[in-house]
Amino acid sequence: MAASDHLTRRRVLGLAGLTLAGLTLPRLGFSADVHAGHNTPQEPAGTGDFIRLDTPRKLKLAVNLNAVCLAPVVIAHGQGFFTQHNLDVELVNFGNSTEVLLEAIATGKADAGVGMALRWLKALEQGFDVKLTAGTHGGCLRLLSAANDGVSRLEDLKGKVIGVTDMASPDRNFFSILLKKHGVDPVRDVEWRLYPADLLGTALERGEVQAVSGSDPFMYRLIKSGVARELSTNLAEEYANLSCCVVGVTGKLVREDKRVVAALTQAILEAHDYSVQHPEAVAKGFQAYALNTSTEEVQAILHDHTHGHHAVGAALTQEILTYVTDLKTVEVISKGTDPVAFAKEITADVFS
């Protein structure tokens, strides 16, 4: 499938997600009186009625401030998504350090965080007291091949080299799963080779690797520059409507104050719905935090994601179960882990 065709399909999936999440009206500004009303006629699917806490609550939310897919969360302050729920949220930048981030949530140094499920699941298997309350969107990960080489199918990667930035990265985990489903053993039939993100394109052009995987904006830029074409994404096949990023909250807070957790989760999902309706506004707001990007680039990347798709409750548990089951097949999750029990243990239905 040509890259342009696939990108069009990604945009269609993003728009289709609106049916799942419910359309939202533009938030062009908020009344100074937050009691004046909420501007969303329908809350994100599965989250019930709008939740406003009776008393203000301060929370710390851990995020990677430079991750384009988290732009809706990052700009949520300016758009008032948290304050309308009576939440005073402080963003804490934890970058890509998953173990540090999860430990911070588990120990209460941060109350919640947002990150990629396929990076978190192995760490959560180690016993962190963190509960997942929602999947926020899909479409963060891409697998690319050189624009002019003969690799056009996943099967073509048998015996080839794939460049990655991290051997435990979510993209390596996901495309290992996809390769396995296409008859290529990701452990024995493929060599994974480490490169800094900004050298993946060079390695591809030199023929040192036959494919590269990663997240945006690096992967988007390689396609845009003509260096690479899109071979696959984490919106492929049965994964088209799965979340790739999730909200994680300290288990203690879930057990002791579920309504606070529900309000926070709802606000985050509202921000993602808003980004589907107003990607330009989100892209502009994100420039205050982003490094080496532009409004146009962020807007284009947001179009390629499914920010209108959210999973909560039983749907979230089922999505996590799918990932855990698949990660066992590629030797990431331990053989002795019960996927059903594990998925139930690490997810929490805060809207029931």
Is residue 95 included in any domain, yes or no? yes
216 and 94 housed in the same domain: no
Q: Does residue 5 lie in a domain region?
A: no
Looking at residue 33, its pLDDT comes to 33
Q: Which of 64, 75, 200 is CA-nearest to residue 143?
A: 200
Same domain, 245 and 221: no
Q: Which domain holds residue 340?
A: 57-139+241-346
- Which of 233, 265, 290 finishes a domain? 233
Residue 35 forms part of a structural domain: no
Are both 146 and 134 inside the same structural domain?
A: no
Q: What is the DSSP letter of 3?
A: H
Q: Which pLDDT tens digit goes with each residue over 303-315?
A: 999 999 999 999 9
Above 80 in pLDDT, residue 196?
yes
CATH number at residue 302: 3.40.190.10
Q: What is the pLDDT of residues 27-54, one digit of tens each?
A: 323 333 332 333 445 899 999 999 999 9
Q: 22-26, 207-211, 345-349: which has the minimum mean pLDDT?
A: 22-26
Does 133 share its domain with 247?
Answer: yes
Does this model's pTM top 0.75? My answer is: yes
Note whether 260 and 342 are same-domain residues. Answer: yes
Looking at the chain, how many residues does it have? 352
Residue 95 is predicted with a pLDDT of 65
pLDDT > 70 in the chain, percent? 88
Angle at 256 between CA 251 and CA 260, to 5 degrees: 90
Mean pLDDT for the chain overall: 87
Within a domain: 9: no
Asked whether residue 62 falls in the same domain as residue 176, the answer is: no
- Whether residue 248 is found in the same domain as residue 222: no
List pLDDT tens digits, range 48-104: 999 999 999 999 999 888 889 999 999 887 789 999 999 999 998 876 677 788 888
Taking only the tens place, the pLDDT of each residue in 111-147 is 999 999 999 999 999 999 999 999 999 999 999 999 9
The confidence score (pLDDT) of residue 22 equals 33
Tokens of 53: 């806490």
Residue 288, C-beta contacts closer than 8 angstroms, at least 6 positions apart: none
pLDDT for residue 29:
31
What is the number of domains present in the chain? 2
